[in-house]
Amino acid sequence: MVHNVGMAGPPKQRRSEATRERLVTAAIETFGADGFTRTSTRTVVERAGANLVSIHYHFGGKEQLYCAAAEHIAKHIHDRSAAVLERGRALSRDRSASRDALIEGVCAIYDEFTGIFLAGGLPEGWRQFLVREQMEPSGTTAFRSLFGVIRPFFECVSTLIGRLQKRRPSDQRVQLTTAFIFGHVYVFRTNPHGALRMLGWTTFGPREIAAIRTTAREHIGRMLGAVPPPASVARGRRSAERR
């Protein structure tokens, strides 16, 4: 049996479409809060105000609903961030861009990323869904959807950093630097309770996000501000640090 994956036909049956949408958003929130296995389809349909079997009718089962939820989030992020990423790409192609402008480009993408992962750029439940799936994929198809929408952030930043460090974007040091910058966001997601407690905060509200962005901006500037010294000098510095 083929499931009703497309949109409903022209007649009054776009009530079907509405149910479908309610199911998806309810699914995101419930899966996000409780994870795939701890979520029962009963909870989802209850929250969506739909019938128990509607999930099977519309999607074919619990797992397909999960994948539909992932795609929904991916599309949302894509739409939201397309402009920022496009600006970043344009900047990285701009031969006349100054160091400060390139660094600012990195910061802009960092800010967008914090918006998605920490601030209100995504509803809390959606964010939980995203983080959970990144950390331990429940299924490869859902992971692919979300990875496909996060990847451009990495690629854009690594291109900018490549120009700043005068290295190819595929250079391992460039890639690692990129990862570290995103780590400035992820750290608050991997250990949210611990981080809040360390910082004496209770939530990641606007004030807290602002503090994170300001300090991160400072660090990104430091990390990328100067042309890296030749390898020989770096080695000397490092061994000096060791003693």
Integer Cα distance of 182 and 133 in angstroms: 17
Exposed, middle or buried, 174 (CB in 10 Å: 0-12/13-18/19+)? buried
Residue 209's binding partner among a second copy, DNA, none (Cβ under 5 to 8 angstroms by kind) is: none
In whole angstroms, the minimum distance from the beta carbon of 41 to DNA comes to 4
Question: Which of a second copy, DNA, none binds 234 (CB below 5-8 Å, type-dependent)?
Answer: a second copy
Whichever of 44 and 185 has its CB closer to a second copy, that residue is 185
Chain contacts with DNA (rule: CB under 7 A): 4, 8-9, 13, 15-16, 19, 39-42, 50-58, 61-63
Residue 139 Cβ vs DNA, minimum distance, rounded to whole Å: 13
Q: Which does 19 bind (CB under 5 to 8 A by kind): a second copy, DNA, none?
A: DNA
Contacts of residue 224, Cβ cutoff 8 Å, sequence gap at least 6: 102, 103, 106, 161, 164, 165, 177
> What does the CA dihedral 111, 114, 116, 118 come to, rounded to 10 degrees?
-150
Decide which of a second copy, DNA, none touches 41; Cβ closer than 5 to 8 Å per partner kind: DNA
Closer residue to a second copy, CB minimum distance, 50 or 157: 157
